Amino acid sequence: MSESTTPQQLPDDAVVLDVREQDEWDAGHAPGAVHIPLGDLPTRLDDLPPDDTTLPVICRSGGRSSQAVAWLSQQGFDVANVDGGMRAWASAGKPLTADSGEPRVI
């Protein structure tokens, strides 16, 4: 069974792995997020942030990130699913940034 965490348990500047699609990312993401869409993960493992702590994984509502966490755990990575995804992140009042202009509500 993989670990999970909540947005409230993470610092506002936490490094998280965002596995959403490009348009979702562009609409708004956590300031410290690393963007690797779920489908790209197998070929972009070298792009994962080097860290000795558990890497939180996030998507829109938690479905894709739970898939990513299960797969990454099998590959030996220390990861945790962010329960509720970016919807919960935004609802918790966590900061959002967008690549172009103001972030939209997720």
Tokens of residue 104, six digits: 């939209």
Residue 106 pLDDT > 60, yes or no? no
Q: Give mean pLDDT, residues 11-15.
A: 93
Task: Report the pLDDT value the prediction gives residue 103, as an integer from 0 to 100.
Answer: 64
Rounded Cα distance between 32 and 38, Å, is 18
With cut-offs at 50, 70 and 90, classify the pLDDT of residue 91.
Answer: very high
pLDDT > 90 fraction of the chain, expressed in percent and rounded: 84
- Closest listed residue to residue 12, CA positions, set 29, 36, 31: 31
Task: Report the pLDDT value the prediction gives residue 1, as an integer from 0 to 100.
Answer: 42
Residues catalogued as catalytic? 59
Task: Report the pLDDT value the prediction gives residue 98, as an integer from 0 to 100.
Answer: 86
Q: How far is CA 96 from CA 22, 67, 70, 102, in A?
A: 15, 23, 26, 9
87 Cβ partners below 8 Å, 6+ apart? 60, 61, 106
pTM (two decimals): 0.92
Q: Give mean pLDDT, residues 70-80.
A: 95
Q: In what order do the strands lie in the sheet with 3-5?
A: 3-5, 79-82, 55-58, 16-18, 33-35
With cut-offs at 50, 70 and 90, classify the pLDDT of residue 101.
Answer: low
Task: Report the pLDDT value the prediction gives residue 2, as an integer from 0 to 100.
Answer: 58
Whether 58 contacts 30, CB under 8 Å: yes
Q: Give mean pLDDT, residues 89-103.
A: 85
